[in-house]
Structure 1
Amino acid sequence: MSASAPYARLLSPLDLGPFTVANRLVMGSMHTGLEDSAEDVAKLAAFLGERARGGAGLLVTGGYSPDRAGRLTRHGALASPALLARHREVTDAVHEGDSRVLLQLLHAGRYAAHRFAVSASRTRAPISPVRARRLTRHGIARTIRAFARSAALAAEAGYDGVELMGSEGYLLNQFLAPRTNRRRDRYGRDAAGRRAVPLAIARAVREAVGPGLLLSYRISLLDLVEDGQTWDETLALARELEHAGVDVLSTGIGWHESRVPTIASSVPHGAFTRLTARLTEAAQVPVVAAGRLHSPDVAEGVLARGEADLVSLARPLLADPALPAKLAAGRAAEVVACIACNQACLDRVFDGRRASCVVNPRAGHETDGDLRLVPTTSLRRRRVAVVGAGPAGLEAAISAAVRGFVTTLFEAEDEIGGQFRYAARVPGKEDYADAIASWRMRLLAHGVGVRLGTRPAAAELAAFDDVIVATGVRPRIVQEPGFDPSSPRPTGAPDVVSYADLLAGRAGAGRRVAVVGAGGIGVDVAEFLTAPSPSLTLDADAWAQAWGVTDPADVRGGVIAPPREHAGAAREVHVCQRKDTRIGAGLGRTTGWVHRAELRRAGVIEHRGVAYDRIDAEGLHLVEEGEPRLLAVDTVVVCAGQESERTLADELAALPSPPRVHVIGGADVALELDAERAVRQAVEVVAAL
């Protein structure tokens, strides 16, 4: 693979322990749900094989426990002889793609969600339902042997090496931190004692696999929990790991129980690379950077500045398995952009489901026939019209063009993107604009005819063979008096605007605002109205200060109590919902708590279990806890759900000789905005044409 100039460092080869990797791009470990069962080995092989063919130089599997106690769940991934005996299919698939692959060994420690959980000391993690038992000295010896045995099995399965998970708050990290290691024996008396178990495991694994395989260690640079490691302790660990035979130090940031976000879209790009650079300068082995390196440009910058020797991109390679190949071919603008939403990947994994990707429904489903876009063999090229350029329509148009159909995309607005255009204006979701830019370039690359500012009539579409209706949704109107934005306002009454008009810039908001509806859109609107300007996502220093992130050389664990409030809040914002559940209850597990913390810091006032009465010259009238309540606000933003926009579909059905009509996305189902379902439905419909 030849490196094109803009990504010369990212695409350059590197000698890595016993072999050379084709480029500096690592697909870091990410559990997909395909690791746990022997029945899914073929699917895992297809998943990793596609990313190997796409050009990733080195891939790391999701975590496999070396013994039963270390499983994340009772039936979680276990590096057993029976399972790894079948993994030749996985390693062969990667090697056929001319890439290298490591098996990650991960002992959950006190993060295990079962009664066999063990840790350095008897403790319970705040995110775990069980209290872990303290490992005895005999238990420690058994655990060390289990790691070595599992590494040997990985070698027999054809893996190019193993990675030891020593980050993110798992067992090895638990031994390293005073927070979780309260032992008074030789495994915990002091910092050297706390390092003893991870170092013993590294030495045992090196002996088990010999010099011909790569040994990587995932090292925590920043624990982001109280009583975590100091920077001097991290450096001492790194030096001793090198002496133990570790070939690569792959960096990790934060424990899963940390109250600082590390993987949300609101985290600045490359927020933690200054620490990576510090380790790179001190290390004698190559260092892998990780943590919000979401795009090739960010990754190239890290390498260009010498902050790391390799970069780990996990979610971006879910979004586009061909990312490295596209860079090498000079097609960077066509890379499918990861929006770091976590909705279909990490949120699913933490709920015990298979990971996929909002913008790439094939991720994790590479063997599913209903998502395979087979080029047409028909001599007469089918003509396909797609109406609506939101995520569903955009993906349908590109998929139709990939299949070889003559495709025209119609959009009533002057821009593509649909609901993603609104999301991109919310502080912390700037990456959504990258997704729109990627769709725009892929439409061009695949020859899709795009007609913006055009609302076609049903009769105009009769000449097409198929019409895919992706006209999306319209905001639902609240039926109580005064809530319809299009109705005349009483003198002195608050302005009533829809979330769409507010986020599109067609309407503004005053200093006192009520947001009606507290689902995902309502939370986004509240953040839009209260977030500091400029967005903290665009200022790594300001973001770190807001979340209490500091230097682990100064504070153990690298975290202090963050400020309780944003400085200089410009608005008084009330968020109201009919349900009595907590605000944003339906948000994803990995990001919902982040949004709620931001709203608390902004001083947003919550009203739950309310009934709406009316809007008049006094303001918004509610019934809260059985009592009338008046919110004297300047603006009411309505985020009370959506309704499908199906007018065109109904008109097409009424034609004397209608084309085949397919309704997808929000036009099909508008109960909740669900980009994952919409994009998957688009690909499935086109694949079935």
Structure 2
Amino acid sequence: MASPHPSAAASRYRTLLSPLDLGPLTLRNRIVMGSMHTGLEDHPGDAGRLAAFLGERARGGAGLIVTGGFSPNRSGRLSLDGAQASEHLLRRHPRITQEVHEADGRIVLQLLHAGRYAAQPLAASATAGRSPLSPFRSRRLTRRGVSRTIEQFAASARRAVEAGYDGVEIMGSEGYLLNQFLAPATNRRRDRWGRGAEGRRALPLAVAAAVREAIGPDALLTYRLSLVDLVPGGQTWDETIVLARGLQERGVDVLSSGIGWHEARVPTIVTSVPRGAFVPLTAQLRREVDLPVIASNRLHDPDLAESVVARGDADLVSMARPLLADPHLPRKLAEGRSGQIVACIACNQSCLDKVFDHQRASCLVNPRAAHETELVLTPVVQRRARRVAVVGAGPAGLEAALAAAERGHVVTLFEASQEIGGQLRLAARIPGKEDYALALRSWRMRLASAGVGIRLGTRPSAEDLQEFHDVIVATGVTPRLVDLPGFAPQAEAPAAGPQVVTYQDLLEERAVAGERVAIIGAGGIGVDVAEYLTSPIPSATLDAATWREHWGVLDPSAHRGGVAARRTPPEAPADPPTDGRRAREVHLLQRKETKIGAGLGRTTGWVHRAELRRAGVVQHTGVAYERIDEQGLHLLEDGEERVLDVDTVVLCTGQESVTGLAAELLEARSGRLPRVHVIGGADVAAELDAQRAIRQAVEVAAAL
């Protein structure tokens, strides 16, 4: 990957961008696009879309690409129609490998047997049982079944190489089948495939040996190794190192770090996990084996990635979701454009949450991801460029302005406040969501590079916008108020009774919460506000050691599985917090009778619910609000009247679209007025759905 600015690249990302001999291959840099299932792997008819998705990352400069997981047999599929490395499916894959190779990329196919995680009735594992992730009980693999599984791994690997892949990766981490055989908690066999640590690692070693024989010496063999299982009854560090050395003896070329099982009650990749929290384990592994090692998990920051490789903590860095957000991340680093990288915020809303719901993955900040053939931003010739006004600089407006400008239109962005970001700027103030600010920084840099004119502190009228061909109205939302006695927000605390504020007042620091707080509305915003009011100071996300202690992560060399025994956080703290947490009594209330946080993301909701329990937030469901007066908040709960003696009531009761400008433009429409497009929250105020808003913004810009 040639760089027009080699001196800039050499001075800042010299090690990360340097070539590396890896087994039989030479990689152009140390950046790996780790395995991510997108949903495009499952059906032969999606091979063209998958080729476009992976080819885009190869053109963007990734040194090595690892596909999503393909099962070696039917029982190992993640779902009934999940991906399997069958002859029928892989017959379509030469177009994928050719697309990557034409861009000078290298690609390996990941072989993944789901084991007890398979959400289908053919599930099989080391021991019979059901995982928390599947409705189906897995059967125990017979000894013949184990032997056939080894053969099927080898046959699948051979087919992958025949389809043009540069090699294969064996998934031995994250709690899938091979990991299940390694852990005493899930392998209670008394035959040669169990009965002690040596028997438990026999299957992974046999699979590695069979795959190496099947693909020969000229193909790359990587193994994703669980460095810490984060489940009771997982592996010890000594067992992991013995396994790693055995894999090396059987011809594995590189070890890729895996962290935690999917069922672990410790978050490993969500945005509240500190950056590089698990790098010390990768560094320790690298000292124990004579193989290249790939670091992974929360390595989104290129500066951090460079330091990890430069220090010798790892030989390569896996940047899976960052390359989902920006397929051209490596190229931008090489060209000295690191500030223009589309920042992944590790929200999981459009990627992992979608996959676990059996939908096609994408990316909140890059809706074109895995939709490259459908959502196309075609450049316009200069004579067809339109003058475009975008009003509102929240996520929808920012992305609409950028997408339109990148197509070649002349764009002016108006924002009534003095800062861009809208509701996303507020979200970045929630402890654990600090990385959301990276997205705003990225938008600023990219808007400037695209030549978008930005007018802050400006609220244009319909008359002001007549000179434009198109006006994209992205004026966002305003907090919805409650029409009950005493619920009107107050600028100052009253002489008696609680002060009523909106979540926006609180997060923009126009109001300060007292020691006893009631939060009305327990959707995503209400949960965020509860964490904002109760989280440790400073945020545990900003210090890896504090975070590990917070979540009970232990040294796997001293504690099997690397995690403390499961604890049940108290519903209310018995004593004032001693860990820096803000000492407040917080009540979180909702009208629905469902569990609070039930509508949060599949991969992140449980983290937020655990934090609420740990902080002692008092949760109320099925309540009816009556009034607020000098006594406090009056409500009905379980059919009985109750008064909460609080000094602050925070309204998180939803949002309403800000539609004034759109109505003004549409009402004044005439032949000479611009075309009007309403997007984001101004179109639908739906619980701050940034995913929908940003995709809608790109779709509108693509159609201009």
| TM-score normalized by the length of structure 1 | 0.98
Report the Cα distance in structure 2 between the residues aligned to 1:161 and 1:452, rounded to whole angstroms. Answer: 52
2:680 to 650, 665, 685: 665
1:184 to 176, 190, 193: 190
Report the Cα distance in structure 2 between the residues aligned to 1:174 and 1:102, rounded to whole angstroms. Answer: 23
Report the Cα distance in structure 2 between the residues aligned to 1:467 and 1:48, rounded to whole angstroms. Answer: 35
What's the counterpart of residue 675 of structure 1?
A: 690
Q: Spell out the pairing of 1:257-296 with structure 2 (5 A cutoff).
A: 257-296=263-302
Alpha-carbon distance, 1:380 to partner: 5.3
**Is 2:69–2:109's contact at 8 Å kept on the other side of the alignment?**
yes
What's the counterpart of residue 574 of structure 2?
A: none
Q: Spell out the pairing of 1:42-441 with structure 2 (5 A cutoff).
A: 42-368=48-374, 371-379=375-383, 381-441=385-445
**Is 2:119–2:136's contact at 8 Å kept on the other side of the alignment?**
yes
AA of the residue aligned to 1:17:
G
What's the counterpart of residue 684 of structure 1?
A: 699
1:567 to 568, 574, 578: 578
| CA displacement, residues 463-492 of structure 1 (integer Å, 9 cap, x when unaligned) | 111110000000000111111115897640
1:622 to 627, 630, 635: 635
Higher mean C-alpha displacement, 377-386 vs 224-233? 377-386
Question: Does the residue aligned with 2:66 lie in a helix, a strand or coil?
Answer: strand
Matched residue count: 687
Alpha-carbon distance, 1:113 to partner: 1.3
AA of the residue aligned to 1:70:
G
Report the Cα distance in structure 2 between the residues aligned to 1:467 and 1:394, rounded to whole angstroms. Answer: 14
Report the Cα distance in structure 1 between the residues aligned to 2:209 and 2:384, rounded to whole angstroms. Answer: 64
Structure 2: tracts of 5 or more residues without a match: 571-576
**Is 2:39–2:358's contact at 8 Å kept on the other side of the alignment?**
yes
Alpha-carbon distance, 1:673 to partner: 1.2
2:606 to 593, 602, 617: 593
What's the counterpart of residue 573 of structure 2?
A: none
Report the Cα distance in structure 2 between the residues aligned to 1:656 and 1:426, rounded to whole angstroms. Answer: 41
AA of the residue aligned to 2:623:
V
> Is 2:665 the counterpart of 1:652?
yes
Question: Does the residue aligned with 1:251 lie in a helix, a strand or coil?
Answer: strand
| CA displacement, residues 143-167 of structure 1 (integer Å, 9 cap, x when unaligned) | 0000000000001100000000000
**Is 2:388–2:470's contact at 8 Å kept on the other side of the alignment?**
yes
Structure 1 pair 475/487, CA: closer, same or farther in 2 (3 Å)? same
Alpha-carbon distance, 1:123 to partner: 2.1
Report the Cα distance in structure 1 between the residues aligned to 2:613 and 2:463, rounded to whole angstroms. Answer: 52
Alpha-carbon distance, 1:134 to partner: 1.1
What's the counterpart of residue 466 of structure 2?
A: 462
**Is 2:42–2:82's contact at 8 Å kept on the other side of the alignment?**
yes
Alpha-carbon distance, 1:561 to partner: 3.4
| CA displacement, residues 566-585 of structure 1 (integer Å, 9 cap, x when unaligned) | 63541000000010111111
**Is 1:26–1:310's contact at 8 Å kept on the other side of the alignment?**
yes
Alpha-carbon distance, 1:637 to partner: 0.5
Structure 1 pair 671/185, CA: closer, same or farther in 2 (3 Å)? same
Report the Cα distance in structure 1 between the residues aligned to 2:117 and 2:377, rounded to whole angstroms. Answer: 40
Report the Cα distance in structure 2 between the residues aligned to 1:490 and 1:611, rounded to whole angstroms. Answer: 24
AA of the residue aligned to 1:584:
G
Structure 1 pair 148/615, CA: closer, same or farther in 2 (3 Å)? same
Question: Does the residue aligned with 1:379 lie in a helix, a strand or coil?
Answer: helix
Higher mean C-alpha displacement, 5-14 vs 53-62? 5-14
1:536 to 531, 534, 540: 540
**RMSD of the TM alignment (CA)?**
1.2
1:30 to 33, 36, 40: 36
AA of the residue aligned to 2:113:
H
**Is 1:490–1:616's contact at 8 Å kept on the other side of the alignment?**
no
| TM-score normalized by the length of structure 2 | 0.96
What's the counterpart of residue 647 of structure 2?
A: 634
Report the Cα distance in structure 2 between the residues aligned to 1:498 and 1:95, rounded to whole angstroms. Answer: 54
**Is 1:545–1:562's contact at 8 Å kept on the other side of the alignment?**
no
> Is 2:589 the counterpart of 1:576?
yes
**Is 2:487–2:627's contact at 8 Å kept on the other side of the alignment?**
yes
| CA displacement, residues 644-688 of structure 1 (integer Å, 9 cap, x when unaligned) | 000001111222533111000000000321111101111111111
AA of the residue aligned to 1:634:
D
Higher mean C-alpha displacement, 489-498 vs 383-392? 489-498
What's the counterpart of residue 27 of structure 2?
A: 21
Report the Cα distance in structure 2 between the residues aligned to 1:639 and 1:656, rounded to whole angstroms. Answer: 36
Report the Cα distance in structure 1 between the residues aligned to 2:578 and 2:200, rounded to whole angstroms. Answer: 40
Alpha-carbon distance, 1:85 to partner: 1.0
Structure 1: tracts of 5 or more residues without a match: none
Report the Cα distance in structure 1 between the residues aligned to 2:511 and 2:324, rounded to whole angstroms. Answer: 37
Structure 1 pair 572/208, CA: closer, same or farther in 2 (3 Å)? same
Percentage identity across aligned positions?
Answer: 68
